[in-house]
Structure 1
Amino acid sequence: MIKTIILLTDTVQRQQPLANLLREHNRDLSFCSALRASDLSAIEPDMLNEARLISFAADVAVPEKLLLQLGYGTYKFYAAPVQYPGLPPAPDESDDDPRCYSVIAQSMMIWPDFKKVVGLETVTIPDGTVAADRERMVLSRLAYLFWQMSGMIAGEATDLPGIMESSENRRPALAMMN
């Protein structure tokens, strides 16, 4: 039974609204906040088997050991320009600001071929939009995707259903990793 949601965000101000939304779907949940990798390392290993980690707009690498110990999976909510799927462009790579972004919810695994997209939307930015408004539009759409998926996130499923995934749905056995 899922008992804890670990919320990994880039700011402390995002923690409470996300927790409140998830609590609407499961009042029995407890929450653990993390802003940095050191916060993740400080989490008691005993609680991980009954926990799910949600990374929301955070650029923090989750340690492999933690990924393997979480009993209810790890999911990352992030935005990426469509022309650079999965990676933001380097500042010197593009003179133009991207006009189209994907907001993505994706499983996090140590085996890249086994990751799956569990939520996806596209945001088109109107011409002439200033950077702060662009960021606000993308973040709003990311929050909307989180809101749409909040019932599943707070639920008992150990693995959220993918909308895009590899043809191989199972975790690799130790023999497959050699």
Structure 2
Amino acid sequence: MLKTIILLTNTVQQQQPLANLLREHNRDLSFCSALRAHDLAAISPDVLRDARLVSFANDIAVSEKFLLQLGHGAYKFYAAPTQYPGLPPAPDESDDDPRCVSVIAQSMTIWPDFRKVVGLETVTIPEGTAVAERDRLVFSRLAHLFWRMSGMIAGEAADLPGIIESDESQRPSLAMMN
């Protein structure tokens, strides 16, 4: 039974609004807050067994060991220019002024080939938009995607349905790992 949502965010200010939104769909949820990898490491394995991780606008790498301990999966909400689908732009490519950005909700697994996109929106940035305004537009679409999916995130489903996913028949099992 899903009891806890672990919110991995970029800032402390993002925690409460996201928790409030998820609580509207499941009043019984409790929440753990995390900003960094060491915050995740401090969470008890007993909590992880009945938990789901939701990473929102945070690029912290989550360890394989942590992902394997989660009883209800992990999902990442992030934005990426469409010319780098699924990847943040390289630091030396920041001169690019992407006019089209995707906001993505994706499952997090230890097998990269088996991650699936569970939510996707594209944002077209008007030409001549200032960087701060572009960031605000993209972040507001990311927040909208989270809002749209909040019922599924807070629900009991062990695995959210993918809108883009790999062949399910090829998904590794625990037996394949041994």
Q: Normalising by structure 2, report the TM-score.
A: 0.95
Separation in 1, partners of 2:32, 2:94: 38
**1:139-177, CA deviations, whole angstroms, 9 ceiling, x for partnerless residues?**
000000000000000001111111110012574124534
Structure 1 residues 46 and 171: CA distance shift in structure 2, 3 A? farther
Instruction: Find the counterpart in structure 2 of residue 139 from structure 1.
Output: 139
The aligned runs of 1:16-55 (5 Å cut-off) are: 16-55=16-55
SS of residue paired to 1:8:
strand
Instruction: Find the counterpart in structure 2 of residue 105 from structure 1.
Output: 105
Separation in 1, partners of 2:169, 2:56: 24
SS of residue paired to 1:165:
coil
Structure 1 residues 73 and 146: CA distance shift in structure 2, 3 A? same
Separation in 2, partners of 1:138, 1:35: 21
Instruction: Find the counterpart in structure 1 of residue 151 from structure 2.
Output: 151
**1:56-114, CA deviations, whole angstroms, 9 ceiling, x for partnerless residues?**
00010111111001111000000000011122223433643111000000000000111
**1:28-69, CA deviations, whole angstroms, 9 ceiling, x for partnerless residues?**
000000000000000001111110000000010111111001
The root-mean-square deviation of aligned C-alpha atoms, in Å, is: 1.4
Separation in 2, partners of 1:99, 1:18: 28
Separation in 2, partners of 1:85, 1:170: 23
SS of residue paired to 1:71:
coil
Separation in 2, partners of 1:149, 1:109: 19
The aligned runs of 1:65-80 (5 Å cut-off) are: 65-80=65-80
Matched, 1:83 2:77: no
SS of residue paired to 2:168:
coil
- Identical columns (%): 80
Structure 1 position 21, deviation (Å): 0.1
- The count of aligned residue pairs is 178
Structure 1 residue ranges without an equivalent (≥5):
none
Separation in 2, partners of 1:92, 1:70: 35
The aligned runs of 1:8-23 (5 Å cut-off) are: 8-23=8-23
